[in-house]
Structure 1
């Protein structure tokens, strides 16, 4: 693989995100920062993760992914409406295509925990694309505010795809212990549980449902963070991987502690835990954790093991 082919996802994605930055010029509005995080996930981190895990087999497949993310960029360079939604459609179709491929692979492979986690990344991923399509269409279903729909789109790029992808790489290193299996199941169950919890709160259900869901998700994420802290201390790690593991531990750990506190806000309220503060700090920490440091930790150890 040539260097041009190996790094074109990084170059293309960075160029696209930079173009968005120049186009907007400022990020004084909450939706613009969330859109930036979303595009970072879609154009840079997710394609790199797919390449590193061997999901994209050919140059043509990698090209389809890259061009569909550029279509998503065009969707976010204009006002919501039918045209913007049409530009968001290719990324949604790619996510469904990859889900179909992952499902077929799962049905032909042993149902080991690592296979389930790897499949979960592609199972949850299209939810983010459905939310992005809805956001670009200007449609907010179930009475949710537009910022919640946009946050859902970003959330399922990071917590929905990248976090299970990072976890699958951990599980692929060696046979997991009991506590590591518990972490894996907390992540698997926590991702859809949070969606159910937020939806239940929207319909006026007692907040304990959302609190329980956030607790499961946060404990799973914290488990992945502490797992990387232990990984940083293992023998045989190069310095860059040790630093990346430490960075993932700090950033993801911070993000999950904030998520836990936010989930318990109805019982132990903290004045600073507003939605804008959460997407600015929690969202940014998760972007650094499973995005930047997740890619760096696994840049040499990822393989098509699944």
Structure 2
């Protein structure tokens, strides 16, 4: 509930109607966040799902802003596509949150449903946003490819783990990790050094913090289909999830907000 408001302020939309819709999402965000928090204060079920739907409304308005950016610009150039994907992933994350709080497991374990919601809020929204910001700053082929890898790898990772498809389970995390680590290198080595002390340190810490969690993520995914050792799901959620959420996502977006 801290990462999203930071990110909504940073989403690099250019078209006027898209920006107005994004502003509407930002205005609604505090109410949506309160509703989401309230959904965790009641048992899973219809009431919790209705409360979580308040957060989904915020995500949906932001998602429409991203779609409007593409429609208004009549372009799928990376400068338009990456921000639209950022907001689209937020919609997916919001929908899975409603499913999780409602107890609608859709044939999966409750932990998979909950972690999918988290995945699309952080790998989907926060990480893709930082890739979009890096591309908007550098406008290089490498930063563009890194952004695309994150956009493609995020849903492939979720699909692979949810369906148990061996190829997607391995390929998705590899693509995602490659994109994120490339973006982290560009941010830490190229973008951060040119900034003043505050954002420089925050962006550098964020860029370094993502390395171990992403390598562990690839190892965990590969271990689902290959006979190799890995951390268990609970430990992965703590190490991979919390490090990415706080040290990479939150600190990284805080750094970008000061640029």
Q: Does the TM-score normalized on the shorter chain lie above 0.5?
A: yes
Query: What is the rounded CA distance, in whole Å, between the counterparts of 2:55 and 2:192 in structure 1?
Result: 38
Shift of 1:60: 6.4
Structure with higher RCO (Cα < 8 A, 6+ apart): 1
SS in 1 for 2:51: helix
Runs of at least 5 residues in structure 1 that lack an aligned partner in the other structure:
1-42, 302-306
Does the 8 Å contact 1:166/1:290 carry over to 2? no
Q: 2:83 is matched with which residue?
A: 118
TM-score w.r.t. the length of structure 2 is 0.89
- The size of the alignment, in residue pairs, is 251
Pair 228,138 (structure 1): closer, same or farther in 2 beyond 3 Å: same
Pair 157,59 (structure 1): closer, same or farther in 2 beyond 3 Å: closer
**How do 1:128-277 and structure 2 match up within 5 A?**
128-141=93-106, 143-177=107-141, 179-201=142-164, 205=165, 207-231=166-190, 234=193, 236-265=194-223, 266-271=225-230, 273-277=231-235
Shift of 1:165: 0.9
Shift of 1:51: 2.1
Query: What is the rounded CA distance, in whole Å, between the counterparts of 1:70 and 1:161 in structure 2?
Result: 19
Deviations 1:134-165 (A, max 9, x none): 11111100x21101111111111101111111
Pair 229,86 (structure 1): closer, same or farther in 2 beyond 3 Å: same
SS in 2 for 1:68: helix
Does the 8 Å contact 1:158/1:290 carry over to 2? no
Larger proportion of helix? 2
Runs of at least 5 residues in structure 2 that lack an aligned partner in the other structure:
14-18
Q: 2:16 is matched with which residue?
A: none
Q: Does 1:69 align with 2:33?
A: yes
Query: What is the rounded CA distance, in whole Å, between the counterparts of 1:123 and 1:60 in structure 2?
Result: 16
Shift of 1:174: 2.7
Query: What is the rounded CA distance, in whole Å, between the counterparts of 2:243 and 2:131 in structure 1?
Result: 17
Greater Cα radius of gyration, structure 1 or 2: 1
Pair 225,60 (structure 1): closer, same or farther in 2 beyond 3 Å: closer
